[in-house]
Amino acid sequence: MRPIFLQNLRILDPETRLDVTGDILIMDGRIAAIGDEISPPDDVRMVDCSGMWAAPGLMDMHVHLREPGEEYKETIETGTLAAVAGGFTAVASMPNTNPVNDTSAVTRFVIERAISAGYASVYPVASITKGLKGKELSEFADLMGAGAVAFSDDGYPVSDPGMMRLALEYAKGLGALIISHAEELALSSGGVLNEGRISTILGLKGIPSAAEDIAVFRDVCLAEFTGARLHIAHVSTIGAVQIIRQAKAMGVKVTAETAPHYFSLTEEAVLGYDVNAKVNPPLRTEEDRLAVIDGLRDGTIDVIATDHAPHSILEKEKEFETAANGMIGLETALPLALELVRAGVLTPLELIRRMSLNPRKILGIQGGRIKPGGAADLCVIDPEAMFVVNRENLRSRSLNTPFLGKTLKGRAVLTVSCGKIVHNLLW
Amino acid sequence: MNRLSSRHILSISDLGQKDIELILDTADSLSQILTRPIKKAPPLRGRTIVNLFFEPSTRTRLSFELAAKRLSADTVSVSAAASSVVKGETLIDTAKNIEAMRPDVVVLRHPCSGASHLMARYMERAAVINAGDGMNEHPTQALLDLFTVKRHLGRLSGLKVAIIGDIAHSRVAHSDIRAFAKMGADVFVSGPATMFPSQVEALGATVVLRPEDAIKEADVVMALRIQKERQGRSLIPGVREYASVYGLTSERLKLARPGAIVMHPGPVNRGVEIAPQVQDGPFSVILDQVTNGVAVRMAILSLILPETV
């Protein structure tokens, strides 16, 4: 590959808190030099990136790639293509595929498929329990040996607290991470949106915020009791933010993520029975949204993940009550997260920390750095670029997003993954 | 153009005060047809109404069918058991197929909230009337309730309306609260707290926990059916206790204003939400509601179809 000389970028490296304007020289798949006095070689491709940012390749620690089993919604290839279009060079894929990722064969299959696609790295999350049934633990050690980076029954909670305790204790012995889908089914069952004003207006059964709060509290208690590492997925409520904040202050080994839709949208997005805004946990109230933003601001919430959940029209274009939960997010996450910078909630460096370094640290994955000599694994972000969310601009196989047709601001214009250009709008 | 501000009748929220007044006035004039020896008039001749009922129904379905026939429209009725839904067809495909046969109106009863909104999105020509969607709304029932109250009490504005029972699962309550509030009545709801939807005030009602407080000085007292089929689990300890604490008894009715009327959208669980002597008593207008339903639906069909009547 011809050497690339990216000029006049704002270079952001959260590990060293580097935030400077300068140039980056990429040669032979590595970052050859960073600074403002680089002498590029003769055959270099010069690109003026004034006004743009360079960040370590983003990592999304919560995506659903649907392969194996539901390739009509997304494949590892289309999902990772969407990832790099969104600036992500690494994703962690959830295990609720068909078959479920509860055996090393499935874990290896996912990794190999991603390597063969050649876009973003995929780090499989294996299931906590076999078949996501909540009855028997999966073979954690075997799965880790095959490449699983964490364990989650995402999509379902581990309902039995005794089983969750077992999982945490067993994971602790192996140094593994448990990711909690925190939902008390006895309260949420049958619900299809947040319980409150909008559920009453639409005549639909709601899911109370207490269903999430109680489950987060339970799992935090168990993490404290067992001393194991726990990560709370897709935080959406005031209560959950407060519980996690308090647990962290008490020294519990808990981390947390939220998704862009929880700080960008409220329950009002489902008005008109918009199935594209139907997610689980559901979109909440303005108070919850602001609490999630506060959690991001003060570091209670460590990570912005997407919970990218592709669905075809077969699952979505139907009655609201029977439509599937979930929206795609890989290609809209960055513009939505950039709103936090524009609003003064996060500095660019802190935003990149939550979308690049923190998820890797939590999952124990190398990378998330921009440093001379390191592998070129980065994205160039144009925070001012406007783009329309539509079929032509999206790489995901599915279109289920409430932002369809909307114009968003800011996007990745160049993504270099493991030294290879995988997304390029610059030239 | 039809003479209502909305092409479809999906929610009371779609109708303005003027729309509602027009429907009630039209129903008043059309109701005379029902008292004639030959109960038929020609305004909808050549029009086709499809009644699509994905839930069991006797009175609503019959009411729509009679309303259409009284105005000389052709009607076709399809029930869930006889529809392609049992073969796996989606509601959207059903809508597209029905539309392809060029009916003028589709009356839809469906167990899912919002189903009529979904169907309406795929109807380019035909109007959709929501005949009850899940626990969301039943707008034509609310309109016939308004009509019944206006006939008996002469007005809607300024009345105190008490609705007692399972507010959360009652699509009638959801539409009635909106409709009465829109027409200037004060709506109070009461019942076991387990049967209130979250933030019911958003619909325009005031919540009072004791039924006596709702009934006191009320001009209209409406009891609702306990909808065990929608509740999923029992929301009350038992019907005996419900009848004792929340049932509309003669004693409780004495708290209402003199001349207050008693309503119930039916079907009634006799002796549970309403005592038999109240149900069959002089203040009950429950059967009038059924009669008025035909007139109101005649009015709706007339007004929703362009250049008729």
> Whole-angstrom Cα distance, residue A425 to residue B304?
52
- As for the ipTM of the complex, it is 0.90
How does DSSP classify residue A275? G
Angle at B89 between CA B86 and CA B90, to 5 degrees: 120
Question: Quick check: A88 and A377 in contact, CB under 8 A?
Answer: no
**Residue B231 above 90 pLDDT?**
no
**Does residue A272 sit at the B interface (CB-CB below 8 Å)?**
yes
Q: Which residue has tokens 């009072």?
A: B208
> Whole-angstrom Cα distance, residue A225 to residue A235?
22
**Residue B96 above 90 pLDDT?**
yes
User: Among this protein's residues, is B169 annotated catalytic?
Assistant: no
Q: Who among B90, B92, B136 is closest to A202 (CB)?
A: B136
Catalytic residue among A219, A288, A307, A382: A307
Count of pairs with CB atoms under 8 A, one residue in A, one in B: 65
* Token digits of residue B25: 């006035």
Q: Who among B117, B197, B200 is closest to A273 (CB)?
A: B117
- Do the chains contact at B114 and A201, CB–CB below 8 Å? no
* Token digits of residue A398: 């599915």
Q: Who among A199, A200, A322 is closest to B112 (CB)?
A: A322
- Do the chains contact at A203 and B113, CB–CB below 8 Å? yes
Greater model confidence, A340 or B237: A340
pLDDT at A330: 98
pLDDT at B88: 76
pLDDT at B147: 98
- Residue A318's pLDDT band (cuts 50, 70, 90): very high
| Chain B contact set for A321 (CB, 8 A) | 112-114, 134
Average pLDDT on B159-175 reads 96
Nearest Cα of chain A lies from the Cα of B35 at a distance, in angstroms, of 37
Residue B102 CB-density burial (10 A; 0-12 exposed, 13-18 middle, 19+ buried): exposed
Dihedral sign, Cα of residue B231, residue B232, residue B237, residue B240 = positive
Average pLDDT on A233-248 reads 98
- Residue B79's pLDDT band (cuts 50, 70, 90): confident
> Whole-angstrom Cα distance, residue A304 to residue A295?
11
β-strand pairing of A378-388 with A53-56: antiparallel
Average pLDDT on A204-220 reads 98
Mean pLDDT of chain B: 93
| Chain A contact set for B113 (CB, 8 A) | 202-204, 273, 320-321
| Chain A contact set for B204 (CB, 8 A) | none
| Chain A contact set for B133 (CB, 8 A) | 203
Q: What is the pTM of this model?
A: 0.94
**Does residue A287 sit at the B interface (CB-CB below 8 Å)?**
no
| Chain A contact set for B134 (CB, 8 A) | 203-204, 321
* Token digits of residue A313: 């029209």
- Residue B80's pLDDT band (cuts 50, 70, 90): confident
- The pair phi, psi for residue A47, each rounded to 5°, is -130, 120
- Do the chains contact at B202 and A197, CB–CB below 8 Å? yes
**Residue B229 above 80 pLDDT?**
no
**Residue A206 above 90 pLDDT?**
yes
Three-state secondary-structure class, residue A178: strand
pLDDT at B2: 63
Catalytic residue among B35, B87, B102, B125: B87
**Residue B43 above 50 pLDDT?**
yes
**Does residue A190 sit at the B interface (CB-CB below 8 Å)?**
yes
Q: Which of A185, A200, A274 to mutate to test the interface with B (most CBs of B within 10 A)?
A: A200
> Whole-angstrom Cα distance, residue A58 to residue A262?
19
Q: Which of B11, B89, B90 to mutate to test the interface with A (most CBs of A within 10 A)?
A: B90
- Do the chains contact at A201 and B115, CB–CB below 8 Å? no
pLDDT at B309: 44
Average pLDDT on B251-267 reads 96
Nearest Cα of chain A lies from the Cα of B111 at a distance, in angstroms, of 10
Residue window 62-81, chain A: list those with CB within 8 Å of chain B. none
Average pLDDT on B31-35 reads 92
> What residue of B is the nearest CA neighbor of A322?
B112
Q: How many CB atoms lie within 10 A of CB A150?
A: 25
**Residue B1 above 60 pLDDT?**
no
> What residue of A is the nearest CA neighbor of B169?
A203
In sequence order, the 6+-apart residues with CB closer than 8 A to the CB of A325 are: A278, A279, A280, A309
Greater model confidence, B202 or B228: B202
Average pLDDT on B147-159 reads 98
- Do the chains contact at A200 and B197, CB–CB below 8 Å? yes
Nearest Cα of chain B lies from the Cα of A245 at a distance, in angstroms, of 28
**Does residue A321 sit at the B interface (CB-CB below 8 Å)?**
yes
> What residue of B is the nearest CA neighbor of A186?
B233
Dihedral sign, Cα of residue A179, residue A183, residue A189, residue A195 = negative
**Residue B230 above 80 pLDDT?**
no
Task: Give the pLDDT confidence of A48-92 residue by residue, as tens digits.
Answer: 999 999 999 999 999 999 999 999 999 999 999 999 999 999 999
In sequence order, the 6+-apart residues with CB closer than 8 A to the CB of A367 are: A56, A57, A59, A89, A90, A360, A375, A377
Percent above pLDDT 90 for chain A? 97
User: Among this protein's residues, is B109 annotated catalytic?
Assistant: yes
**Residue A103 above 70 pLDDT?**
yes
> What residue of A is the nearest CA neighbor of B12?
A201
Three-state secondary-structure class, residue A103: coil
**Residue A251 above 90 pLDDT?**
yes
- Do the chains contact at B199 and A200, CB–CB below 8 Å? yes
- Do the chains contact at A322 and B199, CB–CB below 8 Å? no
- Do the chains contact at B198 and A318, CB–CB below 8 Å? no
Task: Give the pLDDT confidence of A257-294 residue by residue, as tens digits.
Answer: 999 999 999 999 999 999 999 999 999 999 999 999 99
pLDDT at A329: 98
> Whole-angstrom Cα distance, residue A297 to residue A237?
15
| Chain B contact set for A199 (CB, 8 A) | 197-198
Which of B117, B125, B137, B142 has the alpha carbon at shortest distance from B50? Answer: B125
Q: How many CB atoms lie within 10 A of CB B250?
A: 11
Q: Who among A197, A200, A321 is closest to B134 (CB)?
A: A321
Nearest Cα of chain A lies from the Cα of B54 at a distance, in angstroms, of 13
Task: Give the pLDDT confidence of A112-166 residue by residue, as tens digits.
Answer: 999 999 999 999 999 999 999 999 999 999 999 999 999 999 999 999 999 999 9
Q: Who among A196, A203, A318 is closest to B134 (CB)?
A: A203
Residue window 100-129, chain B: list those with CB within 8 Å of chain A. 110, 112-115, 117-118
In sequence order, the 6+-apart residues with CB closer than 8 A to the CB of A315 are: A73, A323, A324
Catalytic residue among B26, B60, B75, B148: B60
Q: How many CB atoms lie within 10 A of CB B17?
A: 12
> What residue of A is the nearest CA neighbor of B121?
A272
pLDDT at B81: 73
> What residue of B is the nearest CA neighbor of A192?
B113
Average pLDDT on B57-77 reads 95
Q: Long-range CB contacts (< 8 A, 24+ apart) of B30-33?
A: B30/B71, B30/B295, B30/B298, B30/B299, B30/B302, B30/B309, B31/B292, B31/B295, B31/B298, B33/B70, B33/B71, B33/B298
Average pLDDT on B142-157 reads 98
**Residue B308 above 50 pLDDT?**
no
Task: Give the pLDDT confidence of B268-286 residue by residue, as tens digits.
Answer: 988 999 999 999 999 999 9
Residue A133 CB-density burial (10 A; 0-12 exposed, 13-18 middle, 19+ buried): middle
